[in-house]
Structure 1
Amino acid sequence: MKIAVISPLFSRSIELMKELTTAFPDLKHNADNLLKTKADLIAFLQDADGAIVGREEIDDEILSACPKLKILSRYGVGLDNLDLESMKKRGLQLGWSGGTNSNSVAEITLSLMLSCIRNLHIATALLKQHVWKVNGGSELTGKTIGLFGFGNIAKRVVELLSPFHCKILVCNRTHDEAEAKKYGITYASKEQILAEADIISIHLPLTPESKNLFSTEEFKAMKKSAFIINTARGGIIDEEALKIALKTGEIAGAGLEAFLVEPTQDWELIDLPNLICTPHLGGNSKESILAMGYACIEHLKTFFSSQ
């Protein structure tokens, strides 16, 4: 069996590649991140029986050009980059484990919340410019947090917020009253959260329904003292509308982990002082990298051992 590792992050892990090579000696990797186009991906995948896929978009055109493929093992938790219908049509197996990076992303979410509300990002930037300006922001304790989506990551965020005694409002497609009681949350409408939340945190997949879910109208409905955090997917926040909201003080600030185009080159957005931003590293802790990778390998082992 030949395995193609598309994900550069997986390819660069000595531990994961050692484990994978032991199980599947015939493999190739993308440690140098050379797969830039759809044609590159097709050429890389054409002779593979299975593949480990990160955030790369795998659509019907690619799958149709690689009929030898039997399984895609997802290195990560989101599935919006895979054409699941095309995979199903072609009888292509999906290897996927939810929640493997939930703690890693939840910790980054909490970090962004604290950095925003305590003014740490602005204070740090000023001090690095040799400007001593004391503004400690507000305390996170007791604030109202609005969560959009309530999957594994959002649930872990709630657990991490427990010592801060926050009021947690959740906007989710489904309501589970047993879960609400377990986590101490209150289900609320989008409109209620926009009006009441001190911090809004996004934990949704990117779908046609969630694309630009937060735009001009939403920012106007938020408190001027509020912050918005996105550790989910780029495109859920309208970045052009966000720029205006941050420049005009429509909202106090934002923390972005994900961007519409990655790597982003929107330096006008990145350079705004009331934006704290990271290069989509939320699920990139050492522990998360290994957990996601070992899960990928197990999916491949399980599948091919049954062939």
Structure 2
Amino acid sequence: MNTLQAGKHKVVVTQRFFDAETIDYLAANGCEAVLADLPPGQGDGDLPLETMVRLLQGASGWIVGHAWVTRELLAALPDLQVVSRRGVGYERIDLDAVRDLGRVATIAAGANDATVADLTIGLMIAVARRFRECQAGLEAGSWAIPLGTDLYRKTVGVVGLGRIGRGVVRRLKGFEARVLAYDEVCDKVLAAEGAVEYVDLAAIFAHSDYLTIHAPLTPTTRFLAREETIRHMKPTSFLINAARGGLVEDRDLLAALKEKRLAGAGLDVFVSESDPSYLEVTRELISLPNVVATPHVGASTTDGLGRTNRVAAECVVAVLGGDTPPASCVVADGRQSAVAHENAS
């Protein structure tokens, strides 16, 4: 591990690409930034419990990537006050344990919305215009032209109108697309602007030329796109998932693509990221010529990571300073329950 600045609070960072400006910000606010020296190609989500405990011993703050934040891990780290995700998904954090043990868990809300929305549009264009096949042909010495499909004035279904989903809708305006939307909460601004048409899930699967999912991964949304819903999609349509592996049943998607019941898919996330039994499914998906795949890079640009680093660091500084981070960033806060427990004792 590489200690970069001296300070009052030890803050361990188990993510790569942590910029010097954010390290300086932490140092200026009484924090010692310690970057975990991860093996090449390995992320914090791959590390065993014993290694995580060793890395985080004595830390007051933890800026985390994709590690599982379990009750057992938190209990082994009595000094740890705040777990700050450099990202927005928190399905790998045991929120009940965070509250029960008097800790705080935060996300970098609003920092990577634009970056992921950009990638989503990029995946739509790349798979529809058959970029992968075009480049493979050129590399083989062929100038044959695979005919692609426009995004211009097509019908795009957006499932989930959170920050990223809304960003995708704004970008689609430039393509003069008709946007169908599904969300449990109606965005009155977008509806009033005529930017979206709210429909039910059945309609959004049936009528979309492009379907992109931007929902959180919960028991309710797991395998939202599966055989029962995919079979209603048009054979000329494209499925995009740049949100979370598990929103799409990759086995069912693979079958639909191989049977030509879908035109293609743009994928940044896969079920196999959390379930190794799907590794062969992932390998088959990314081998298909009508799949454009990226290795969960949605938030990973220099600009996007700079923003998420800073928000994650600001959350750490706020908690360690006795303050509360912005409400949009807090996913669990057990400090009051811990105080009540101490008073009762």
Q: TM-score range by the shorter chain?
A: over 0.9
Give the aligned partner of residue 16 of structure 1: 22
> Structure 1 residues 26 and 177 mapped into 2: Cα distance closer, same or farther (>3 Å)?
closer
Q: Indicate the SS of the match to 1:7.
A: coil
Q: Do the aligned residues in 2 keep the contact of 1:117 with 1:139 (CA within 8 Å)? A: yes
Q: Indicate the SS of the match to 1:261.
A: helix
Give the aligned partner of residue 4 of structure 1: 12
Superposed CA RMSD in Å reads 1.9
The one-letter amino acid paired with 1:281 is: V
Q: Do the aligned residues in 2 keep the contact of 1:158 with 1:183 (CA within 8 Å)? A: no
The one-letter amino acid paired with 1:193 is: I
The one-letter amino acid paired with 1:280 is: H
1:40-79 aligned at under 5 Å gives the runs: 40-79=51-90
1:183-198 aligned at under 5 Å gives the runs: 184-198=195-209
The one-letter amino acid paired with 2:120 is: T
The one-letter amino acid paired with 1:277 is: A
- In the alignment, the residues of structure 2 paired with residue 277 and residue 215 of structure 1 have an alpha-carbon distance, to the nearest angstrom, of 19
Gaps of 5+ in 1: none
Give the aligned partner of residue 181 of structure 2: 170
Q: Residue 240 of structure 1: which of 251, 270, 274 is its match? A: 251
Q: Do the aligned residues in 2 keep the contact of 1:170 with 1:185 (CA within 8 Å)? A: yes
- In the alignment, the residues of structure 2 paired with residue 58 and residue 106 of structure 1 have an alpha-carbon distance, to the nearest angstrom, of 27
> How far is 1:23 from its partner?
3.4
Give the aligned partner of residue 132 of structure 2: 121
The one-letter amino acid paired with 2:164 is: I
> Structure 1 residues 211 and 230 mapped into 2: Cα distance closer, same or farther (>3 Å)?
same
> How far is 1:108 from its partner?
0.5
Give the aligned partner of residue 335 of structure 2: none
Gaps of 5+ in 2: 1-8, 324-345
Give the aligned partner of residue 26 of structure 1: 32
Give the aligned partner of residue 270 of structure 1: 286
- In the alignment, the residues of structure 2 paired with residue 183 and residue 56 of structure 1 have an alpha-carbon distance, to the nearest angstrom, of 40
The one-letter amino acid paired with 2:260 is: G
1:101-112 aligned at under 5 Å gives the runs: 101-112=112-123
Q: Residue 94 of structure 1: which of 82, 91, 105 is its match? A: 105
Q: Indicate the SS of the match to 1:282.
A: coil
> How far is 1:195 from its partner?
0.9
- In the alignment, the residues of structure 2 paired with residue 95 and residue 235 of structure 1 have an alpha-carbon distance, to the nearest angstrom, of 22
- Is 32-41 or 75-84 further displaced after alignment? 32-41
- In the alignment, the residues of structure 1 paired with residue 295 and residue 25 of structure 2 have an alpha-carbon distance, to the nearest angstrom, of 27
Give the aligned partner of residue 282 of structure 1: 298
Q: Do the aligned residues in 2 keep the contact of 1:283 with 1:289 (CA within 8 Å)? A: yes
Q: Indicate the SS of the match to 2:273.
A: coil
The one-letter amino acid paired with 1:228 is: L
Q: Indicate the SS of the match to 2:231.
A: helix
> Structure 1 residues 91 and 162 mapped into 2: Cα distance closer, same or farther (>3 Å)?
same
| Matched residues, number | 305
- In the alignment, the residues of structure 2 paired with residue 183 and residue 72 of structure 1 have an alpha-carbon distance, to the nearest angstrom, of 40
Q: For CA contacts below 8 A with separation 6 or more, give which structure has more relative contact order.
A: 2
> How far is 1:303 from its partner?
2.1
- In the alignment, the residues of structure 1 paired with residue 90 and residue 194 of structure 2 have an alpha-carbon distance, to the nearest angstrom, of 26
Q: Do the aligned residues in 1 keep the contact of 2:113 with 2:167 (CA within 8 Å)? A: yes
- In the alignment, the residues of structure 1 paired with residue 315 and residue 194 of structure 2 have an alpha-carbon distance, to the nearest angstrom, of 31
> How far is 1:183 from its partner?
6.0
- In the alignment, the residues of structure 2 paired with residue 193 and residue 77 of structure 1 have an alpha-carbon distance, to the nearest angstrom, of 25
Q: Indicate the SS of the match to 1:168.
A: strand
Give the aligned partner of residue 167 of structure 2: 156
Give the aligned partner of residue 132 of structure 1: 143
TM-score by length of 2: 0.83
> Structure 1 residues 155 and 177 mapped into 2: Cα distance closer, same or farther (>3 Å)?
same
Q: Indicate the SS of the match to 1:73.
A: strand
- Is 151-160 or 57-66 further displaced after alignment? 57-66
1:194-205 aligned at under 5 Å gives the runs: 194-205=205-216
Q: Say whether residues 1:252 and 2:263 are aligned partners.
A: yes
Q: Indicate the SS of the match to 1:2.
A: strand
- In the alignment, the residues of structure 2 paired with residue 159 and residue 18 of structure 1 have an alpha-carbon distance, to the nearest angstrom, of 34
- In the alignment, the residues of structure 2 paired with residue 182 and residue 51 of structure 1 have an alpha-carbon distance, to the nearest angstrom, of 41
Q: Do the aligned residues in 1 keep the contact of 2:173 with 2:195 (CA within 8 Å)? A: no
Q: Say whether residues 1:293 and 2:309 are aligned partners.
A: yes
> How far is 1:5 from its partner?
1.1
> Structure 1 residues 199 and 29 mapped into 2: Cα distance closer, same or farther (>3 Å)?
same
